Chain A
C-alpha cells in the first residue's frame, strides 16, 4: 500500500559509491558506501553516527568509539546489517518530502560473478531497507543500457564496467548476456597498489584517502602524456614522523600495472571466449567502458592498444549503471523482465 506515494528507484550498490536514480528526477543520490558506527562508552549500544560522504570524511580519522565501515566488499555485501541500515538511510533521504514511509520498487545491480547467496543477501538487504519489490539486474547489462548501447539488436556489444571493488566485462546481444566475467579488481585495488608502492619505494605510509587523491590527480594507465607531480604527506616508517614527498605520474603508472593488467587480461579472455560473430561486431564497433575506473586517464588507450579494438568511454561513466537500472524500471512495465538477473 502507498506504493504510489514513493517513486521507483534504481540503486547501484557499489563498493565505493552508492547511486540512486529516481524516476522523473534522475540521479538523486551519489554518496560513498561508508557508514560510521558509534559504540556506546559502556560498549553495548551501537548506533549510526554518519552515512555517506560525512562518514567517508571520518574514514581513518575516527576516535576509538567510532568505527567507519565499508559494508560492501568486492561488489557484494560484507556486513549485512550495516548495508541494510545504510540503504534505509539513503532511501529515506531521497524521499525526504514524503509523509509516509517510502516503499518503492527497486532495481538493484549485482555483479555477474556474485553467488546465489550473495544475490539473496543483496535482495534481502534492499527489502529490509523498505523496498516493496526488488528486481536484480546484472551490472554490465545495466551499464550497457545506461551507456546507450543498443542491447536489443542481434549485434554484439562489449561492456567493461570498472567499479570500486570489481570489474565486469560482458558481451550483450538481444537483451541478454552472452558472456560475462567478473574480476575482483577495481578502484580499491589501484589505491591499495599505490599504498604498497609508496611503502616499498619511499618507506612512507599513506592512507586510503590519500592514495585515492593521488590516483585522481596524477594516475594514468598509458605512458606518453606530460609528466605530472603531486606533493604527498605521509608517515615515515623508519622515523615514525610525518614527512612530505613528491610522486610523479610515471611512478603511479608503474604502481598500478598489476591491477591494470588484471583488467586487460579479463577483456582479452572475454574476446577469446566470445562467439566469433559477436567478436567481429565488438572489433568493428568497439568496447564501451563505464564505471568510475573509466575516469582513470588513458585507460581506453591502454585497452585499445592491447586488444586492437576501438574503445570508447561512455558519457558520465560513474552513473551509467544507475541510469541503466532506471531505464530497466521503465522497460519492466512495458516489455517484461528480459534483462533481469535470476537469483
Chain B
C-alpha cells in the first residue's frame, strides 16, 4: 500500500509539467491545497477519504478512482475545502468535464454491463404500423370493388332457377332440375324450352337429328318434352316419335353413361347430405333445406350419407331407391348405391 502511494506521489510530480497549458482539475486542486498549506493527510481526514484516493484524485489516476458519481462528489467537497468554487472546476451535469479533466469514467475505461441508455428496438414500429394500416386499407378497397357475381350463393341460383323453370313450362315443375356441373339456370331452362320447340319441329319434319341437344339436356326434360308431345300428338308422327324417344333413352347410356348414373336427390326435410362417386369426387355435401332438388352426375357406385334419411328421396335415373332399411331414428344412414339401383351398406 505504501509503495503504491509512493509511486502515486512520484507520478504526481510529473503530471503538472505535462498539463501546464491547461491544468487538469487534479492539478488545480493540488495547487489550491498547497496554497492553503494543507497536507494530503489533512485533506483526506477532512473529506473522510483514503489518502490514496486523494492522491489519485490529484493525479487523475483513473485506475484508483471509483465511478464518476463518487468522483464528482469528492471533487466538489475537495474544492469546497480548499476554497475553490466547485462550479468553476466542473459545471454540474457535464460528464465530459470529468473525463477531459483527467478523471475519465471508469466505466468507459473498462466497459462492462453498462447502464448507459441504448436506443430501443421499437424505432421501426410506427413504420410497420403504417404499412399494416395501408395493407388493410388496400384489402378493404379490393373487397368493396371486386366483381359481385362471383359470390352469389348457390341457394339463390337454385331459387331463381326453379322460378324460371316453373313459369316457362308447367310440366317442368314436376322436375325442376339443375345439373351440379355449374350450368347456368337460365341456360338449362332455355335448353328445356329449346328441347320442346325442337320436338315440335320434329313433329312436323320427321327429323331425328334434333335429339342430340335433348341428350345434352336432362332426361327429365326429355320426359317432359315427350309428355307434351304425346298430349299434342300429331297423327302422322305417332309412329316415329316413340321410336326416337326410345332411341334417345337407349343411346344415352351407351354414349356417355351419364344418364344412367344420374342421381336425383329430393329433400323434403332439412338434412345433412354427402354423396361421393366411385372416383372419390364429392358431388354434394352440406346441410340442405326442404324443397331442394339436385341432380348429380358421376360414376357409379355412389356412397351416400344421409343425416335425416326420412326427409330425403333418392332416384337413380328416375327410379326410386328404397333406402327404408337404413332409416333409423337419430341415426345417420350410410349406404352405397350400386349401378343396378340396389343399395348395400
Contacts and interface: CB of A to CB of B under 8 A. Distances in A.
Interface of A: 4-5, 8, 23-24, 145, 147-150, 152, 284-286, 288, 300, 304, 308-316, 326-327, 330-331, 333, 335
B205 interface: no
A145 B120 CA distance: 18
Contacts of A326: 117
Nearest to B50: A284
Nearest to B123: A24
Given A311-B73, A312-B69, A4 B93 contact: no
Contacts of B77: 300, 304, 310, 312
A142 to B, nearest CB: 12
Interface residues of B, number: 31
A23 B126 contact: no
A330 B120 contact: yes
Nearest to B119: A24
A330 B117 contact: yes
Interface in B50-66: 50, 53, 66
B18 interface: no
A5 B127 CA distance: 11
A310 B115 contact: no
B118 A285 contact: no
B120 A148 contact: no
A26 to B, nearest CB: 9
Q: Please list the 4 inter-chain residue pairs (A to B) with the smallest Cβ-Cβ separation, ordered nearest first.
A: A312-B73, A4-B125, A148-B69, A310-B48
Contacts of B53: 284
Given A148-B68, A150-B107, A312-B70, A4 B122 contact: yes
A315 B122 CA distance: 29
Q: Which residue of A145, A284, A315 has the most chain B CB atoms within 10 A of its CB atom?
A: A315
Contacts of B119: 24
B42 to A, nearest CB: 15
A150 B72 contact: no
Contacts of B93: 315-316
Q: What DSSP secondary structure best describes chain A's contact surface? A: mixed
A303 B74 CA distance: 14
Nearest to A144: B69
B144 interface: no
23 contacts: A4-B122, A5-B126, A5-B129, A23-B120, A24-B120, A149-B67, A150-B107, A152-B113, A286-B74, A288-B69, A288-B70, A304-B48, A310-B49, A310-B73, A310-B77, A312-B70, A312-B74, A313-B76, A314-B69, A315-B69, A330-B117, A330-B118, A333-B121
B47 interface: yes
Residue in B50, B122, B129 whose Cβ sees the most chain A Cβ within 10 Å: B122
Which of the listed residues B50, B69, B93, B125 has the most CB atoms from chain A within 10 Å of its own CB?
A: B69
B92 interface: yes
Contacts of B121: 333
Contact of A331 (B73, B115, B128): B115
Given A148-B115, A284-B50, A312 B126 contact: no
Contacts of A312: 69-70, 72-74, 76-77
A309 B117 CA distance: 30
A304 to B, nearest CB: 6
B67 A150 contact: yes
A241 B53 CA distance: 58
Interface in B94-142: 107, 112-113, 115, 117-122, 125-126, 128-129
Interface string B302-341: 0000000000000000000000000000000000000000
B63 to A, nearest CB: 15
A335 B113 CA distance: 10
Contacts of A147: 69
B288 to A, nearest CB: 41
A148 B129 contact: no
Given A304-B77, A316-B92, 15 more contacts: A4-B126, A4-B128, A4-B129, A150-B67, A150-B107, A152-B112, A284-B50, A286-B73, A286-B74, A288-B69, A310-B70, A311-B48, A312-B73, A315-B93, A327-B117
A315 to B, nearest CB: 5
Nearest to A314: B69
A245 B179 CA distance: 107
Interface in B194-248: none
A4 B121 CA distance: 11
Nearest to A298: B80
A203 B90 CA distance: 45
Contacts of B74: 286, 310, 312
B69 A308 contact: no
A119 B53 CA distance: 41
Nearest to B66: A285
Nearest to A288: B69
A340 to B, nearest CB: 15
A309 B77 CA distance: 13
A256 B50 CA distance: 32
Q: Pick from A8, A148, A284, A326 the residue with the most CB of B within 10 Å.
A: A148
A310 B73 CA distance: 9
A301 to B, nearest CB: 8
Contacts of A335: 113
B185 to A, nearest CB: 46
Contacts of A286: 48, 70, 73-74
Contacts of B92: 315-316
Nearest to A328: B115
A145 B115 contact: yes
Nearest to A153: B112
B73 A313 contact: yes
B5 to A, nearest CB: 15
Contacts of A304: 47-48, 77
Contacts of B67: 148-150
Contacts of A284: 50, 53
- Looking at B77, B107, B112, the one whose CB has the most chain A CB atoms below 10 A away is B77
